[in-house]
Structure 1
Amino acid sequence: MPALNEEETILKVLKSIPKKYEGFDELELLVVNDGSSDDTEKEAIKAGATVLNHNHNQGVGKAFQTAVDYALKSHADIMVSVDADGQFDVNQITDMIAPILNKKADFCSGNRFANGRPVNMPKVKFFGNSLISKIVGFVSKAKIQDVSCGFRAYSRDCLYNLNLQGSFTYTHETILDLLHKGYKISQIPVNVKYFDGRVSRVANNLFVYGFQTSFIIFKSFKDYRPLSFFLTIALIVFIIAVLLAGFVCIHWYNTSMITPYKSLGFIALALFGLSMLISVLAFLADMLNRIRGNQEKILFLTKKKYFEED
């Protein structure tokens, strides 16, 4: 449970979490206190939670990475992430972990939009989430209805294989990373409450949130599908070059001269050359991506050995 200044709700939320689940001998409550300036830590300890503190606010993505490391060191079989504000129904944790226990999925993500836009969710936020879901679905080649939900469950094998870079958020990157590595996702319909006057810790500014998440998705597209990414850019540059060259050629055909568009001809030639260079870069990036894939396999085995011996 990542938490930033959640003293008003975190105790109640932690106390409401069921203490026993079929198939498990032990449950541990973990709160990553991401630089709170209130009594979030004290309230979490009252509820019997283990608290890991960040000295300053590092972002929910970094809090998630801290939780993953702790879960692996603690030999957890499944890690469930849920918000600290009481927005989600913690009784649905059972639904969230069931597909993993039954070997039907490797990780599960909450779906807030199974029945359309939730009550009191702003239309602009619903539209933004839908748009980002479509973009992530395009990159991952999977149909994901809700990629921004923080209510999720991960198998231990998934946690071994997660290698995240972003600190702002983790929701989109985890889906892209795990689907790219062949893990199976299950989308679980979840109940969600939107409280009047409450500002999201992550999406408190929709423009900043949109920019940050778009940047993460942009980088993920580059990392996971480099050949398509760079060849698309090369094609766009090539098309612009063809249009400019075609315009100059038509002018030359009609007037037997290229002036006053000589500069456009040189620009077209430069763009032709640039498109060729980007095409070469595309194949180099694709080769590096295969090398990266092998390195991640080695890292997976290394982490598995390290944490199992710990």
Structure 2
Amino acid sequence: MHRTESIAVVIPSFKVTRQILDVIAGIGPEVDRIYVVDDKCPDGSGKLVREQCLDPRVTVLEHDANQGVGGAVITGYRAALADGAKVIVKVDGDGQMDTSLIPRFVAPILAGEADYAKGNRFFNLEHIRSMPPVRLFGNAVLSLLTKVSSGYWDLFDPTNGYTAIHADCLRFVPFDKLSRRYFFETDMLFRLNTLGAVVVDVPMDAVYADEVSNLKVSRIVTEFAAKHLRNFCKRLFYNYYLRNMSLASIELPLGLFLICFGTVYGITHWLRSAQHEVVTPAGTVMLAALPVIMGVQLVLAFLAYDIASVPRRPLHKKTSYSRIHA
């Protein structure tokens, strides 16, 4: 891979002492710096790397308290930015991510086609058969929720932690507002959409052994659903009312109002007719049905506009142009 840009890798480390050294050893020469972030690991993975890893590219960073995977990645991001990295890749320390794929992740970014690249384990339908059913169901649900909340309708597998990002895009991400734990990757997508960053999926295989999944259906239904709803509302406000106004800004609220009006009006008159044991007049039925039909059409029109509004021009190219002509 011919390049002049500096590439860094961030590895959050927590209870991965058995795999972390092999993960580092598998990182190729295309990477200039490696940041291992010990997130208050009870097994002392940071100390292990410091004592046994001889790779001069490695820097070990340690937290005084556990901050979660998001907190560890943010610490690594900040260190990489301070050292001048142009593309920053994040891989897990448990050995389930093939580090030989790093050139594939950074390629669309170096080519100026994307700001952020993330893995997609669902690209090859034959390989996803190895994914445990609970993970498959959970990721399918999360992917649908993430499409709605983040606005990236063409992406899948939102919880995939194998990512790469351009430094000029990363500098605009509000680190202090990002979720620090399991919602980190999904929250990152929401923040990137509000910035207008281009995100692409990178096909990769799903690799699972006998580990127990931490993905709980109850978490999806409660905590994750609430956060997705929050991000969706924020995205609507930022993209359709604060920064820009379009026909879609009117279509969604008007459509929801008509649906609610038609539904409430129809149910009210249906109950009244049932109570008096009379047939509901055809005019009343139409007066209830038409607003619902019109409302659904308006909501679908909004969705079509939202899907077509996925960012297409990389943010880092726009910021580079601004600096050159400043």
TM-score, scaled relative to structure 2? 0.67
Q: Which residue of 14, 20, 29 maps to 1:10?
A: 20
The answer to whether 1:246 aligns with 2:256 is no
Deviation at 1:30, TM superposition (A): 0.7
1:32-51 matched pairs, under 5 angstroms: 32-45=37-50, 46-47=52-53, 48=55, 49-51=58-60
Aligned length: 250
Contact 2:148–2:232, Cα closer than 8 Å, also in 1 = no
Match of 2:32 in 1: 27
The answer to whether 1:124 aligns with 2:134 is yes
User: 1:10, 1:209 → 2: CA distance?
Assistant: 29
Equivalent position SS for 2:153: coil
Deviation at 1:181, TM superposition (A): 2.0
Deviation at 1:231, TM superposition (A): 7.2
Contact 2:21–2:49, Cα closer than 8 Å, also in 1 = yes
Equivalent position SS for 1:144: coil
Contact 1:2–1:33, Cα closer than 8 Å, also in 2 = yes
User: Which ranges of structure 1 fall in alignment gaps of 5 or more residues?
Assistant: 256-300, 306-310
Contact 1:32–1:51, Cα closer than 8 Å, also in 2 = yes
User: Which ranges of structure 2 fall in alignment gaps of 5 or more residues?
Assistant: 1-10, 241-248, 279-318
Equivalent position SS for 2:46: helix
The answer to whether 1:157 aligns with 2:136 is no
**What amino acid is the match of 1:151?**
Y
User: 1:13, 1:249 → 2: CA distance?
Assistant: 69
* RMSD (Å), alpha carbons: 2.9
| Change over 3 Å in CA distance of 1:85–1:141 after alignment to 2 | closer
| Change over 3 Å in CA distance of 1:56–1:183 after alignment to 2 | same
| Change over 3 Å in CA distance of 1:89–1:222 after alignment to 2 | same
| Change over 3 Å in CA distance of 1:234–1:65 after alignment to 2 | farther
Contact 2:130–2:206, Cα closer than 8 Å, also in 1 = no
1:1-310 matched pairs, under 5 angstroms: 1-18=11-28, 20-21=29-30, 27-45=32-50, 46-47=52-53, 48=55, 49-116=58-125, 118-139=128-149, 140-163=151-174, 164-168=177-181, 169-196=183-210, 198-200=211-213, 203-208=214-219, 211-226=222-237, 238=261, 241-243=264-266, 245-247=268-270, 250=273
Deviation at 1:190, TM superposition (A): 1.4
Deviation at 1:134, TM superposition (A): 1.9
User: Per-residue CA shift, 1:24-54, capped at 9, x if unaligned?
Assistant: xx61111221221002112222324322222
Deviation at 1:108, TM superposition (A): 0.5
Equivalent position SS for 1:225: helix
**What amino acid is the match of 2:230?**
K
TM-score, scaled relative to structure 1? 0.71
**What amino acid is the match of 1:172?**
T
Deviation at 1:130, TM superposition (A): 1.6
